[in-house]
């Protein structure tokens, strides 16, 4: 999904379009408050750690959820990830099997995460929690659950991409916010800001240091299996929220990106487009590189033609994160 540019302009440069959309943003806020008012969240017998954001699009919450699972697993816990299975056909509860399930069934994010940790998809999060517990989970990572009010969270982590921040600060559709900044921060126990240090510093200074919420800095570290990209000719493509960030990552790794294509987020690739990329790469002796999330949406018989760039979250103050989590574990 490619988002409107005016969503990410500073408030001092607010687009005229945003002003016209304010009535719809007000309606969005009313509906969100109504949803909160009528909800009756259920309490789980095991800890629920929510990893989410208050803006639409990619903020790094999926690699953050995977990192959190790894940290807990290293300390003897048995974490399971619970996702809604966005864009998947199955309603769940369903334990994702990376060898049998397809992204059409469970969604691309859930399928990708299942390759690393037990991952459930369930439209009804309460049912998903019960199924995960039955299967041996003693802690649940609720992926993208900030706006879900049916399960009580024991700890909520707000993930923010520093270079994007809260965009223009307005609610959908005038801006990228799913809920107001104040309501999001009110239920936040810890903030993880992902990005370069100068972006993080500027965002923290301008936004919420006064809110007395613990802040942990992190960055995305890119790795690629069996091949280095330095000085390699590359054709890149991505169907993610902010594809330009993926291109920047490739170039930072030293790749000579001779072509880059942006596709719609979460949508199946057309076979004709994939074959065009393969043909172009062969002619130009280039590597075809995409994201792990995009790779699972490529037909298995074509996957050998592509390299997936693996990304991990590297947390600067990991001890602070674990210190804050310990009381609920």
Report if residue 31 sits inside a domain: no
Domain count, the chain: 2
Interatomic CA distance for residues 131 and 211, integer angstroms: 36
Residues 183 and 197 in one domain: yes
Residues 146 and 186 in one domain: yes
Tokens found for residue 261 = 């294509």
pLDDT tier, 91 (very low <50, low <70, confident <90, very high otherwise): very high
Residue 89 has pLDDT above 70, yes or no: yes
Residues 215 and 104 in one domain: yes
Q: Residue 27 is inside which H or E element, if any?
A: helix 16-38
Rg (CA), the chain: 20
pLDDT in tens, 247-291: 988 998 889 999 999 998 888 899 999 999 999 999 999 999 999
Q: 94 with 122: CB under 8 angstroms?
A: yes
pLDDT in tens, 283-325: 999 999 999 999 999 999 999 999 999 889 999 989 999 999 9
Residues 104 and 185 in one domain: yes
Full DSSP string of 250-292: HHHTT-EEEEEEE--TTPPPPHHHHHHHHHHHHHHT-EEEEEH
pLDDT in tens, 205-263: 555 555 688 989 999 888 765 567 888 999 999 988 888 889 988 998 889 999 999 99
pLDDT in tens, 167-199: 888 999 999 999 999 899 899 999 999 987 666
Residues 230 and 149 in one domain: no
Residues 76 and 92 in one domain: yes
Residues 162 and 247 in one domain: no
Q: Which of 158, 85, 72, 187 has the alpha carbon at shortest distance from 128?
A: 85
The β-bridge partners of 83 are 121
Q: What is the CATH number of the domain that holds 259?
A: 3.40.50
**Which domain range does residue 240 map to?**
222-313
Report if residue 34 sits inside a domain: no
Residues 257 and 290 in one domain: yes
């Amino acid at each position: 999904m490619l988002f409107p540019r005016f969503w990410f302009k500073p408030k001092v440069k607010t687009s005229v379009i945003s002003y016209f959309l304010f009535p719809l943003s007000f309606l969005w806020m009313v509906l969100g408050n109504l949803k909160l008012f009528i909800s009756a969240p259920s309490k789980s017998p095991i800890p629920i750690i929510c990893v989410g954001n208050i803006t639409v699009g990619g903020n790094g919450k999926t690699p953050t959820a995977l990192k959190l699972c790894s940290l807990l697993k290293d300390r003897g816990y048995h974490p399971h990830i619970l996702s809604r299975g966005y864009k998947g056909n199955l309603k769940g509860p369903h334990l994702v099997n990376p060898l049998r399930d397809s992204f059409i069934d469970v969604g691309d994010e859930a399928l990708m995460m299942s390759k690393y940790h037990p991952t459930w998809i369930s439209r009804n999060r309460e049912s998903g929690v019960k199924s995960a517990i039955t299967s041996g989970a003693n802690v649940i990572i609720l992926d993208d659950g900030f706006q879900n009010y049916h399960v009580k969270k024991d700890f909520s982590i707000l993930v923010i991409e520093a270079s994007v921040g809260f965009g223009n600060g307005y609610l959908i559709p005038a801006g990228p916010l799913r809920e107001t900044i104040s309501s999001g921060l009110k239920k936040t126990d810890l903030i993880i800001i992902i990005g370069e240090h100068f972006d993080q510093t500027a965002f923290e200074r301008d936004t919420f240091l006064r809110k007395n919420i613990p802040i942990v800095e992190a960055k995305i570290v890119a790795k690629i299996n069996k091949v280095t990209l330095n000085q390699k000719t590359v054709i890149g493509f991505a169907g993610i929220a902010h594809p330009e960030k993926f291109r920047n990552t490739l170039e930072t790794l030293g790749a000579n990106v001779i072509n880059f294509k942006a596709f719609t987020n979460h949508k199946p690739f057309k076979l004709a487009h994939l074959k065009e990329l393969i043909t172009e790469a062969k002619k130009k002796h280039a590597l075809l590189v995409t994201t792990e999330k995009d790779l699972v949406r490529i037909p298995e018989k074509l996957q050998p033609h592509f390299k997936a760039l693996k990304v991990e979250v590297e947390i600067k103050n990991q001890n602070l994160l674990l210190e804050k989590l310990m009381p609920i574990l």
